[in-house]
């Protein structure tokens, strides 16, 4: 399947997928199937297995066996790197296929899905180098009788629970790094966007990954996800989702085996615009920062904190940008903002828009549901006259809703930016390098952008501060996150006896 031959329309019949165990698909058998309707088209596109607790046990047992017999962790870094590079090669060849199914299940524009898959290729290529360069340390300063070594070893079996907003991208921000360090894993994608996770497991088997190293169970978070969180034979769990569920994950891990956790949770991210910024660039960036992935993005810039002297003019500039955004069929290459992924999220976003108006915010643009005859769409929405106590200023909406709040001084801008329980991401727009550095140092966020937003690559780490999570993904830090540190003390020469 390639871009030249692919018909950009939903399939005539939904495609059925099994779950992935020991290097192969397992058919549903007598298990129930979940049917997924495309949020952009309202027609069924995929059917996936509702796995059971026994299936989770089997997947974890498969990963455990693969870890303990060292079929993966026992390989040299060069051999693991070769598999990761081959995965990148195959993924590049199948990129159009993966992007197509990602768009169908999620509702994001096909152009965005293609770009995300291309970025995922880079993740595997970068992680392949880390598989070869991961190392520990040595201490030759312990005296003539002792030599010290610090090693990094794989954690073991890693469970990965991913959300519906970036099913493939978030997966690929984790998988190559988990595997580069020698771990084995069980992935549990969102029940509404499972297919591209299954495809990655298939691709990695094709690339030479040993059977059992990467297993995928599908089904609901309430049953299958919880079983993975609670499992006593999972050594580490990576969870991406809401802060509320992240808190429950922490509690569950404490009640089971104190498994190591990596958490990327919610965000209410500020975009700070100073009057000395290139306002045209800033307006475009701010619009992109909230419109990308229909605002269903944990790092979307949902709070516009703008210098008062230009606040009204700049708000209108953003509104003008919103008016030109192409909202529509996700399979149309011209579309910039696609469909809302789930019915529940659609209702949540519309509820916040109503709440914003009820609390006294002024609706500048959007606010309505768009009717294209099928699917579910919401116009990019801009609120002015927003105060810090309003729900649309404090709570994560996870939709294309932007709240404008003015400031007068640098200190006030920083205070407003930090006035949140979250600390995932932030942006600042200014041509004054002193301001940019001052703000970037003082705003508490794990990712920070200056005169840009939502940019990045595999080299820099991802993660949050405060209630936005623990740990880091991607970059060197992303590999180290999935290792344990061991100190080794080596005595040299004859022992000084304790018992004479």
As annotated, the active-site residues are: 264, 298
Q: How many CB atoms lie within 10 A of CB 85?
A: 16
The residues that bridge with 138 in the sheet, in sequence order, are 149
Tell me the CB-side half-sphere exposure of residue 191, using CA atoms within 13 A.
15
What tokens appear for 388 in the block?
A: 């810090």
The residues that bridge with 149 in the sheet, in sequence order, are 138, 488
The residues that bridge with 47 in the sheet, in sequence order, are 16, 35
* Distance between CA atoms of residues 62 and 179, nearest Å: 15
Sign, CA dihedral 106-107-112-118, equals: positive
What tokens appear for 342 in the block?
A: 């789930």
* Distance between CA atoms of residues 420 and 126, nearest Å: 34
| Residue-wise burial string across 319-353, b where 16 or more C-beta atoms lie within 10 A, e elsewhere | bebbeebebbbbbeeebbbbbbbbeebbebbbebb
Find the helix packing angle between 77-93 and 95-106, rounded to 10°: 70
The residues that bridge with 306 in the sheet, in sequence order, are 273, 406
Answer for the pair 435, 410: CB distance below 8 angstroms, yes or no: yes
Q: 310-316: which pairs have CB atoms within 8 A and are 24 or more residues apart?
A: 310/273, 310/275, 310/279, 311/384, 311/404, 311/406, 312/384, 313/279, 314/273, 314/279, 314/282, 314/283, 315/364, 315/382, 315/384, 315/404, 316/364
Contacts for 1 with CB less than 8 Å, ≥ 6 apart? 94, 96, 97, 100
Phi, psi of 51, rounded to the nearest 5 degrees: -65, 160
Give the CA-trace dihedral at 115, 118, 124, 127, to 10 degrees.
-60
Q: Which residue do the tokens 């790197």 mark?
A: 81
* Distance between CA atoms of residues 301 and 290, nearest Å: 5
């Amino acid at each position: 399947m390639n871009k030249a031959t692919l018909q950009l329309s939903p399939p005539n019949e939904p495609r059925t997928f099994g779950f992935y165990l020991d290097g192969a698909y397992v058919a549903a058998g007598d298990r129930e199937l979940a049917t997924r309707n495309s949020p952009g088209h309202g027609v069924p596109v995929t059917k996936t297995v509702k796995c059971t607790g026994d299936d989770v046990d089997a997947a974890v047992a498969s990963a455990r066996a693969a870890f303990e017999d060292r079929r993966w962790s026992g390989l040299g870094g060069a051999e693991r790197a070769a598999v990761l590079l081959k995965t990148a090669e195959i993924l590049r060849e199948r990129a159009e296929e993966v992007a197509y199914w990602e768009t169908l299940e999620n509702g994001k524009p096909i152009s965005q899905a293609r770009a995300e898959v291309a970025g995922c290729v880079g993740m595997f290529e970068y992680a392949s180098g880390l598989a070869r360069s991961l190392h520990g340390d040595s201490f030759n300063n312990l005296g003539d009788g002792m030599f010290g070594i610090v090693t990094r070893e794989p954690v073991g079996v890693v469970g990965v629970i991913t959300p519906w907003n970036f099913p493939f991208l978030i997966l690929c921000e984790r998988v190559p790094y988990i595997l580069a360090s020698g771990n084995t894993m069980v992935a549990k994608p969102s029940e509404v966007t499972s297919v591209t996770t299954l495809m990655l497991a298939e691709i990695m088997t094709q690339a030479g990954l040993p059977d059992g190293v990467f297993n995928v169970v599908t089904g609901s978070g309430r049953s299958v996800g919880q079983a993975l969180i609670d499992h006593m034979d999972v050594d580490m769990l990576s969870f991406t989702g809401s802060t509320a569920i992240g808190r429950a994950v922490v509690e569950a891990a404490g009640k089971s085996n104190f498994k190591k956790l990596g958490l990327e949770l919610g965000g209410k991210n500020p975009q700070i615009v100073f009057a000395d910024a290139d306002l045209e660039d800033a307006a475009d960036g701010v619009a992109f920062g909230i419109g990308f992935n229909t605002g269903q993005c944990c790092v979307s810039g949902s709070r516009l904190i703008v210098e008062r002297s230009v606040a009204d003019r700049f708000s209108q500039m953003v509104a003008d940008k919103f008016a030109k955004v192409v909202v529509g069929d996700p399979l149309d290459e011209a579309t910039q903002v696609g469909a809302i992924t789930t019915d529940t999220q659609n209702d949540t976003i519309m509820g916040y828009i109503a709440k914003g108006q009820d609390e006294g915010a002024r609706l500048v643009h959007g606010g309505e549901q768009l009717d294209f005859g099928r699917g579910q769409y919401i116009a990019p929405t801009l609120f002015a006259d927003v105060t810090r106590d309003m729900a649309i200023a404090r709570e994560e909406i996870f939709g294309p809703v932007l709240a404008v709040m003015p400031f007068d001084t640098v200190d006030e801008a920083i205070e407003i930016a930090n006035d949140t329980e979250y600390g995932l991401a932030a942006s600042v727009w200014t041509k004054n390098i002193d301001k940019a550095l001052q703000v970037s140092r003082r705003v508490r966020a794990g990712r920070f952008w200056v005169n840009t937003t939502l940019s990045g690559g595999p080299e820099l780490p991802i993660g949050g501060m405060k209630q936005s999570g623990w740990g880091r993904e991607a970059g060197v830090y992303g590999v180290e996150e999935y290792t344990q540190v061991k100190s080794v003390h080596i005595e040299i020469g004859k022992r000084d006896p304790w018992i004479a």
